[in-house]
Amino acid sequence: MNKLLLVFFLLSTLFSKAQYGVIITEVANMPMAISNNVVVEGFVNNTPYAYSFGGIDATKIWSGITKKSFRYNTITNIWDTIPDLPNTNAVIAAGASYVGSIIYIIGGYQVLSNGNEISSNIINRFDPRTNTYLSNGAPIPVAIDDHIQAVYKDSLIYIITGWSNTGNVPNVQIYDPANNNWLIGTPIPNSNSYKAFGASGIIIEDTIYYHGGASTAGSFPGQSGLRKGVINPANPTQITWTNQATNYKTYRAACTQLGSFPFWLGGSEITYNFNGIAYNGTGGVPTKSFNLYYDGNILDSTITTGGTLPMDLRGIANTGAYKYIAGGMLNGQIVSNKTYKIELGITTSVSKKISLTSNFNTYPNPASNQFNIVFDKSENRAIRLLDLLGHEVFNMENKNLTLQLDVSNYPKGVYFINVTTEQESSSQKIVIK
């Protein structure tokens, strides 16, 4: 594996400084170059996978839109082919969410030979455990593509704004997977500062965050607004919307979570058609390797240099300690077959760093009762055990050279041990059998 990029940046607060780290590693290539493909996580017998559904191939023309689908085994570092999307028509600009062991692939648009575009109202339901598609979900009330798609409390899927056949819409459509029906959420304000296609976002606790995208006005200019929607937990269809100006424009970036913050990766700042050519007539669009985070006050960034995170992204696979981006477009509008493993970290001291190699060893691994941890040196450290979804299972402080961790009462599966000292933070994968 080739380490492409290690970026650190600093955030000043009134009382302290926090350091954010992004480690990006190139792993196995996809079976084919693909862009505007849906990327999402899934789990099979506790093995985390990254999935890719549909997209457009290296031709970047309407006939290159495909139903081909793949999955990446994050343990073996191998991609394999899974069944094609079962729809009659292939689409791009769909979204996908993993809820309750099922992947929901929602919306997208078909491109006809004459250039016309038709938004989709289809939900495909894919079961990673059997590697098969289930019957389609209830049709989307308003056909949609290039939307924001985010999960609330592992139960509801929010479809926010996006393009529907002739323009951006203010609709907030909420899919309930347990009951296979749709709810109507409080719409965003019906203005070009909120409505967008190609924006991206996430739900953290009770707040929706989405940023950027393209406006319907003129030649689809890019937007810089960070829109926030506070969900009423007593009635999740009720949302209070606000909009905050930022210094950045993002288009078809990937959005994930860093601690309690939303975090945007990759994308571009100039809006473009499915072939990577700018709507504003300036020609091919360059990538903009954003690392943008919102800390509750401002949206801040470090621009990556010497590396190229792709644009034209439609999701990121969140497998716990690691996240995966697959496909997209690189500079020169080159459709990519690359896969990137991403590790995000956060510390509270400017002297601390994220380590690419562990400062400790574990044995036996796998284990059923007890792990032994051996450290390089004696020092104060915080030790956390995380499950595949990044939830903290256990934490303690310790400064001994060796430690025995009893895991006999934990469910079988893959976990991550994270060790943080005053100087660095590192992680190792362990398996409880």
| b/e burial code for range 44-72 (CB count within 10 A of at least 16 → b) | eebbbbbbbbbbbbeebebebbbbbbbbb
Answer yes or no: do 382 and 323 share one domain.
no
Please report the pLDDT score of residue 214 as a whole number: 97
Asked which of 295, 322, 347 is the last residue of a domain, the reply is: 347
Average pLDDT over the chain, rounded to an integer: 88
Residues 239, 99: one domain?
yes
pLDDT per position as a tens digit, 148-197:
999 999 999 999 999 999 999 999 999 999 999 999 999 999 999 999 99
CATH number of the domain where residue 400 is located: 2.60.40.3080
- Smallest CA-to-CA distance from 39 within 13, 6, 3, 70 is with 70
Q: What ranges in 164-274 are assigned the alpha helix state H?
A: none
Region 125-139 average pLDDT: 97
State which residues form the domain around 29. 2-347
Do 380 and 306 share a structural domain?
Answer: no
Last residue of a domain, which of 313, 347, 381?
Answer: 347
Q: 310 or 366: which carries more pLDDT confidence?
A: 310
On whether both 239 and 360 belong to a single domain, the answer is: no
Of 144-153, 223-232, 253-262, which range is least confident? 253-262
Whether residue 15 sits in one domain with residue 121: yes
pLDDT tens for 277-312 read 999 999 999 998 888 888 888 888 654 433 578 999
Q: Of 347, 366, 385, which residue is a domain's last?
A: 347
Residue 273, Cβ density class (10 Å: 0-12 exposed, 13-18 middle, ≥19 buried): middle
Q: What pLDDT digit, counting tens, does each position of 51-69 carry?
A: 999 999 999 999 999 999 9
% of the chain surpassing 70 pLDDT: 89
Write a three-state SS string for 383-433. EEEECCCCCEEEEEEECCCEEEEECCCCCCEEEEEEEECCCEEEEEEEEEC
143 vs 418, higher pLDDT: 143
Same domain, 313 and 422: no
- Structural contact between residues 261 and 296, judged by C-beta atoms closer than 8 angstroms: yes
Predicted confidence at residue 291, as pLDDT, reads 83
Instruction: For residues 144 and 40, state if they share a domain.
Output: yes
Count how many domains the chain has. Answer: 2
Averaged over 224-235, what is the pLDDT? 97
Greatest C-alpha distance within the chain: 69
Q: What percent of the chain has pLDDT over 90?
A: 64
Rounded Cα distance between 403 and 189, Å, is 55
> What pairing do the DSSP bridges indicate for beta strands 424-432 and 353-354?
parallel
**158, 221: one domain:** yes
Give residue-wise pLDDT tens across range 18-42.
Answer: 445 677 889 999 999 999 999 999 9
At 68-81, the pLDDT tens digits run: 999 999 999 999 99
pLDDT digits (tens, 9 = 90+) for 103-122: 999 999 999 999 999 999 99
In the structure, what pLDDT confidence band is assigned to residue 392 with cuts at 50, 70 and 90? confident
Task: Clarify whether residues 149 and 269 are in a common domain.
Answer: yes
